[in-house]
Structure 1
Amino acid sequence: MNPAATGVITSTDTSQLNSMASVEKTPEAAFAPLGGTFAVLTIDPVASVEYLHDPEATTASAKLVSKDYVVSIPALQCMFNPAAPFREEDVLFVQQGRPQDFPAQCIDASMSIPIVPQNCGVDEHPSKREPVRMATNPFPFADCYLSAFATANVRTANILVVDPIICVLHKEDQLRVSNLTEDDFELRRLKRLREQKGKEEQRQNVIPPARRMTEAM
């Protein structure tokens, strides 16, 4: 998992999602999860190594204890072949607590997307962004946020299911999440360029003038 994924909500907390009595509606059979919704991601260690056809890997993975993770499904999902047994999905891990800086990765706490409810005001949150809201039930965890850098590309089965929608973002906030993640990727890119330029200028300052002239020739 990306080091930027801290405070990820795991299986010790996900029962709150499953215990919520009311749902927006029971949709018709569809390929779950749907874009814009929140889901519980479960990793199957044995199925993950099945393609290797390696008995040792299968035996070792069977001993692993897997946790569940609360994730957000981007509104814009990739096209896929419904006849294929599996498909890829990009997910954002839901994190809880105060966002942190990761200087080595050029990520700072402002590159985060808060989720309602928050115990602090917009001006007190590192992102200074309005929290995204649910169109259905209130989100059951306080002080959570999404990050463009706490993501995973996962495999899920192409199975039509009738899956109750418990938490889904407002349509406008689904678009906001997509735009803000793109903004944060660009902010990190620019930050990396500035740091690279600063290191290059620092390097030039410590090189003796005679050597700089030689390198320039």
Structure 2
Amino acid sequence: MHSVPRRGAWAVMTIDPLASLMHLDDRHIPAICAGLLNKKYVVYVAEGNGKLFNPLIPYHEHTVEFLMHGLPRPFPEACIDAAMTMPVFPGSRHPLGRAPLRPSTPLPWPDCYLSPFITAHVRCRTLVSDASVPYQLDIPEQLRHDAFVTEDWRRRAEGQAFRAALARCPAVHRRPTSTDADAGTVYSSVEARSSDAEYSSSTGSTSAEVGSVEADQRHHTMEVALFRNAKLAKTPPNDMTTVVFTHDLSGVEQLSDPLDFFAEQDTLRMIADGSRFRREYAIKQAERSNAETYDAPTVRLLKRTRVLRVLSGIRRSGKRALRRIFLLHTADSVQ
């Protein structure tokens, strides 16, 4: 038995729009979601938020890396180049000559790559399965993957530090091109992840000197690291993008562009904004209706009460005046 998805394995991921928007409690959401078209994305399950699987919670969160056909475009403005990738067998080309990651079964697509910067942070329903996982990395290969991730984040941090130092000096800065802008869209999640120390530390803590230890020692290193920081996973936020995973890759003929996934997320955000607008509008309408139903009669009642109070005061004043006149007249008669 294993959790779905399994860390260190490839899976097909599809957004579940209804589960992603269920927290809005909007009766219009099911009809809107029925008209959405969500693609299938092949991803590598990089981590499970650094926590142990907890069968008692309804959802688990995961960080996934998109499997891409061909090298992604460099994005110099974010200090990311094409070499910050990992080829996956049967692919083998790499600008720095990195040996490809070798799944237990070669992937059915050639020339595929992973990038630690083209990722998504999602949640899925808690699920266990005894089905086989045909495409996964063994422990040594997972450690090698993590070592590449750590190296690429370090290289990017060094590039950012150099760029910051260069910005403090008078120099001519290169003007960004349209290619940079396109690449920037793909790497839209980079800035959010650059401050994610947990991701960098969790992948880097077990990757030191990977090439200098034997396979059994690396296996032991990973087990020790996992149990040293062992904490049961907690339920992720209910507004996190919810997806469905399967380890059956046979239904995917062609790899989908990660840009389409981010576009689908933008669609969900627009639907959520529309739901909040409708809710706020309904509240204002209810307040206006309440004002028309209750406030106007209340004002009339207050005015009537005020008039009655004034009339009552006039009657009391009149009685006192008549009593005073009567007493004065009686006194004059006695004299």
Same fold (TM over 0.5): yes
Work out the number of aligned pairs and report it: 170
**CA–CA separation in structure 2 for the residues paired with 1:43 and 1:75:** 18
Distance across 2 between alignment mates of 1:141 and 1:44: 25
Whether contact under 8 Å (2:47, 2:63) holds in the other structure is: no
Q: Which structure: larger Rg?
A: 2
In structure 2, the residue matched to 1:128 is 97
Tell me the equivalent position of 1:98. 71
Taking the aligned partners of 1:154 and 1:67, their CA distance within structure 2 comes to: 15
Q: Is residue 177 of structure 1 aligned with residue 145 of structure 2?
A: yes
Q: CA deviation at 1:87?
A: 0.8
How far residue 55 of structure 1 moved from its aligned partner, in angstroms, is 2.9
Secondary structure of the structure 1 residue equivalent to 2:168 = helix
After superposition, the Cα gap between the structure-2 partners of 1:105 and 1:132, relative to the gap in structure 1 and judged at 3 Å, is: same
Q: For 1:97 and 1:45, how far apart are their aligned partners in 2?
A: 29
Q: CA deviation at 1:79?
A: 2.5
The runs of 5 or more residues in structure 1 that have no matched partner are 1-28, 204-217
TM-score after normalising by structure 2: 0.48
Aligned-pair CA distance for 1:176: 0.8
Q: Which position in structure 1 is the counterpart of 2:245?
A: none
Aligned counterparts of 2:101 and 2:73: Cα–Cα separation in 1: 19
**Deviates further, 77-86 or 40-49:** 77-86
Q: Which residue of 1 aligns with 2:8?
A: 36
How far apart, in 2, do the equivalents of 1:86 and 1:78 lie?
13
- Per the normalisation by structure 1, the TM-score is 0.72
CA deviations 1:164-215 (Å, max 9, x no partner) are 2111113211101111112111111110111111111127xxxxxxxxxxxx
CA shift for structure 1 position 32? 1.1
Aligned ranges 1:41-80 → 2 under 5 Å:
41-74=13-46, 77-80=50-53
Tell me how large the CA RMSD over aligned residues is: 1.8
SS in 2 for 1:91: strand
- The code of the aligned residue for 1:126 comes to P
Cα distance, 1:119–1:173 mapped onto 2, change above 3 Å: closer
Check 1:58–1:200 CA distance in 2 against 1; reply closer, same or farther (3 A cut).
farther
Q: Which amino acid aligns with 2:88?
A: I
- What SS does structure 2 have at the residue aligned with 1:202? coil
